[in-house]
Amino acid sequence: MTDTLDPRTGGPTGPRPIIESTVSSQEQMRYIGQQAADARLNVEIETEGMTLNMGPQHPATHGTLRLVAKLDGEQVVSAEPIMGYMHRGYEKLTEVRTYPQVTTLVNRIDWLGSFANEVPFILAAEQLMEIEAPPRAKWIRTILFELSRISNIALFLGDMGVQLGAVTPVFLAFRDREFVLNQVEAVTGGRFHPNFDRIGGLKDDLPAGWIEETKAVMVKMRAFCDELETLLMGNEIFQARCRGIGVIPPAVAQEYGLSGANLRASGVDWDMRRDNNYGMAYDECDWKVWTHPDGDSYARYWVRLQETREATYIVDQLLDSMPSGPIMAKVPRIIKVPAGEAYVATENPLGAMGYYIVSQGELTPFRVKIRSASFSNMSVSPWVLKGVFVPDIITILASLYFILGDIDR
Amino acid sequence: MAEDTATTEAPAEEETDEEVAAPEPDPARDAALAMLTELLGDAIVESHIEPGRDLWVRVQRDAWVESIQTARDSLRCYWIDFLSAIDWMPSPYGREMEAEQDWIIHGRDIKETPAMESGVAGGETRFQVFARVYSIENNLGITFKADLPDDDLRIETLLRTYAGINWHEREAWEMFGIHFDGHPDLRALYLPSGFEGNPMRKDFPLLARRVKPWPGIVDVEQMPEVESPGDDAPSEEGGEA
């Protein structure tokens, strides 16, 4: 065993030694010291930073988000998302649509959980009109709301695996999500854009046999959650790539307006379904808000998975306790919303989504401010991406879970 | 002194509603408003409480940052919901009834622009900035508003209070042309860099509506004429066609 080290590699010269027998601990320390010295040298050399452009067409961006990251070696010095490739101007368009027509537009904001987009708008309009939907409509609304959560988050649960190189989960997600979408389609006629919520109630009642079918689907979705819990969350590589990556402390999360699972994964126990349950039926069932203290990518995945499973229990309970009765309150044929302002937000799949409606007593809203969850959730990305390594960008973006339509509106 | 603005405002609003909803007290929002009034004094111009629902506070422009900071520190409103603006000017284009289709339905004289109205908690000028902060502990949201004079559309940035306000202010800047003093990075967020105009202003025309009549308007206005049973159609619709 020679004492000299190869100046090029920093390792021992000659034929590769067998580690246990030949490398003494002293030599090993010297080797590590040499590596560290090399690393310091690399830092001290003034290198020109590299700018990495991800997107607008990038598989990790769920649409057309562009990310410009300035790198130093493998490390991100600063990263900034550039949006607007999908800005559709919904706030302006709502000013020339009547209230019932607005739901068609807002369906397309978060296109994976589209029914959930309609609900806060309808609730805000109902609040201004002093109308309350009958109980059965509230129940069905809540069920469809949770179904869109399940179908939306199920895709996240699989997609996160794909971003990290595990291809199987996404096939499971697409397979099982389809069962939920079938149920949504059976009621509303649309898989992605139901346009089913109406001021004062719902367009239609449930079809025959739907309750039993949905219960069977909920069993399947619970099995899906279990499967992913063992397949992906138990995976060592998955944990290594997620644990401790992209930690967002609770104070930062609140300052940036994070909401939904992103906020709960930072340990903030706040769910609008429990704390600010306006016009929905969540009080009628027994469920739990899941939080995780870590605030890292793994916590965000964990919280979403628990929430999906919890949502299936909410749906089950609501299906059991469904009241009978009308599905539509008495609403004038031509809807004119009285003058006033109302803000209603709900706990959408992606987080808090709200509509601030300014009405001046016309057929159309005077101004609608759409508060979408992904916009605020992504606004933290320049903060959280600073200092991470390039492969972790993907992990963090995937775990923050945004839908481009929800950012750009 | 603390609650005078609220108590004078609230009954006037509630009078028109049914008696059931009117006397509903809201101690949490009353207390929050009292605390803000005590701490801010004259900075609060007007306020309004919708019992059980929401609290609006309109403050003077110079006290914008101070009042929101006070709400954050004293009422623990650590969660920023959104910031945006309202253009209170009635749109000179109405609902863009320029197309022939619209003339048939409405007649030509529909475009009389009404007088400018303001919303909850009042307002004197055309542009109003509003922001909503939320206290997760108290489960209480407050909507702050501030008027901007027409000739000086500036307001101080909230960046030092909430770092997350960055994108919201950039959006309000490009959509309404409101300048946020002290914001280091006022660049377009959504619009391409060479874009001229502020699309969310009411006098910015919606071009799609000008070049093509909108078929949707027919559904809205003509249905009661076709099958009007007389009892459920509002009477004011009948006079227009």
- Cite the DSSP H helix spans in A94-245: 99-106, 114-129, 135-163, 168-188, 210-228, 236-242
Please report, for chain A, the start and end positions of each structural domain, with discontinuous segments joined by +.
1-45, 94-408
Mean pLDDT across B185-200: 82
**Tens digit of pLDDT per residue, chain A (409 long)?**
445 665 555 555 555 444 444 445 666 666 666 666 665 555 555 556 777 777 666 655 566 778 888 887 778 888 888 888 888 888 888 887 788 888 888 888 888 888 888 899 999 998 888 888 898 999 999 999 999 999 999 988 888 888 888 888 888 888 888 999 999 999 888 888 888 888 888 888 888 888 899 999 999 999 999 888 888 888 888 888 888 888 888 888 888 889 889 999 988 888 888 888 788 888 888 888 888 888 888 899 999 999 999 999 999 999 998 888 888 888 887 778 888 888 998 989 988 899 999 988 777 888 899 998 888 888 888 888 888 888 888 888 888 888 888 888 7
Per-residue pLDDT at B3: 40
In this structure, what are the phi and psi dihedrals at residue A171, rounded to the nearest 5 degrees?
A: -70, -40
What is the chain B residue with the closest CA to A377? B164
Measured CA to CA in angstroms, residue A248 lies from A75, A251, A395, B135 at distances of 18, 8, 14, 19
CA dihedral of A331, A334, A338, A339, whole degrees rounded to 10: 150
Tokens of B20: 């059931």
Q: What pLDDT does residue A216 have?
A: 92
Chain A interface includes B103 (CB < 8 A): no
CATH 3.30.460.80 fits B4-227, yes or no: yes
Taking the CA of residue A403 and the nearest CA in chain B, the distance in Å comes to: 16
Average pLDDT over residues B63-89: 88
B121-138 confidence digits (pLDDT tens): 777 788 889 999 988 888
CB A353, CB A227: distance < 8 Å: no
B114: nearest CA in chain A?
A360
The ipTM assigned to this model is 0.77
CB contact under 8 A, B96 and A257: no
Min Cα–Cα distance to chain B from A158, Å: 29
Instruction: Say yes or no: domain A94-408 is CATH 1.10.10.10.
Output: no
Domain ranges of chain B: 4-227
Q: Specify whether the CB–CB gap between A261 and A304 falls below 8 A.
A: yes
Q: Which of A84, A270, A343 sits opposite B136 (nearest CB)?
A: A270
CB contact under 8 A, B163 and A255: yes
Residues ≥6 apart with Cβ < 8 Å to B39: B70, B74
